[in-house]
């Protein structure tokens, strides 16, 4: 793993923090921005949760890229990286909710996360290609990297982990808590500013 890929992978849970701080400090939220942004962020969180319910706690590793299964079920049957796609929608949604330095901060944040995920995904794909060979080649050829397609990929010959909603919710607890706290803060700041 290259140094920059390793840094992005290891600290991927923390790289949104500076953007979130700026969004909270410079927020100009209104009722429409909160509603629209919340819908976008909830769609993103739905993709994340759908993916985590199949991939499980392996999505939480920070040491190195790896995984037990080539997951091609659930959200992974529509795009190869549903968690990163979900993250991008969550960040965009929160950015729209805050309206902080809009649209410049949102554009810079999206550009940063696309670059970060480019490096991380390249390393993950090297691991998957080496580990799963032709199965991964077929999957990669038929399923887009970061934006979902409308038809489902199916390969019955690839062993899949079971759908586990309880484990998915447990694994996703930190993300849900952070998402809920940021949303609540933005709503409270909006309420405070309009004087309710």
Q: What is the average pLDDT across 171-189?
A: 95
Q: Write out the residue range of the structural domain in which residue 102 sits.
A: 3-191
In a domain, 196, yes or no: no
In a domain, 29, yes or no: yes
In a domain, 60, yes or no: yes
**Tokens at residue 141, please?**
């050829």
Please write the tens of the pLDDT for every residue from 80-110: 999 999 999 999 999 999 999 999 999 999 9
- What secondary structure does DSSP assign to the chain, as a single string? --HHHHHHHHTTTTTHHHHHHHHHHT----HHHHHHHHHHHHHHHHHHHHHHHHHGGGGG--SS---SS---SGGGGT-S-HHHHHHHHHHHHHHHHHTTTTTHHHHHHHHHHHHHHHHHHHHHHHHHHHHHHHHHHHHHHHS-SSS--SS----TTS--PPP-HHHHHHHTHHHHHHHHHHHHHHHHHHHHHHT-
User: Is residue 188's pLDDT more than 90?
Assistant: yes
Question: Looking at residue 1, what is its pLDDT?
Answer: 60
**Tokens at residue 69, please?**
């299964």
In a domain, 59, yes or no: yes
User: Is residue 130's pLDDT more than 50?
Assistant: yes
Residue 24: is it exposed, middle or buried by C-beta count within 10 angstroms (0-12/13-18/19+)?
A: middle
CA atoms within 13 A on the CB side of 61: 13
Please write the tens of the pLDDT for every residue from 48-65: 999 999 987 665 554 455
In a domain, 165, yes or no: yes
In a domain, 120, yes or no: yes
In a domain, 144, yes or no: yes
In a domain, 185, yes or no: yes
Total domains present in the chain = 1
């Amino acid at each position: 793993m290259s140094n920059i890929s390793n840094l992005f992978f290891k600290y991927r849970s923390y790289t949104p923090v500076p953007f979130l701080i700026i969004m909270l400090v410079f927020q100009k939220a209104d009722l429409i921005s909160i509603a629209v942004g919340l819908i976008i962020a909830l769609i993103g969180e739905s993709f994340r949760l759908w993916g985590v319910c199949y991939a499980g706690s392996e999505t939480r590793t920070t040491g190195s890229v790896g995984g037990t299964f080539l997951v091609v079920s659930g959200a992974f049957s529509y795009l190869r990286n549903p968690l990163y796609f979900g993250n991008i929608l969550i960040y965009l949604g929160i950015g729209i909710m805050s309206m902080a330095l809009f649209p410049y901060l949102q554009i810079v944040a999206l550009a940063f996360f696309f670059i970060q995920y480019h490096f991380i995904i390249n390393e993950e794909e090297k691991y998957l290609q080496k580990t799963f060979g032709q199965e991964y080649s077929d999957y990669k050829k038929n399923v887009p990297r970061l934006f979902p397609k409308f038809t489902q990929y199916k390969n019955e010959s690839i062993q899949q982990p079971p759908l586990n909603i309880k484990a998915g919710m447990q694994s996703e607890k930190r993300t849900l808590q952070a998402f809920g706290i940021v949303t609540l803060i933005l709503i409270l700041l909006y309420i405070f500013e309009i004087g309710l």
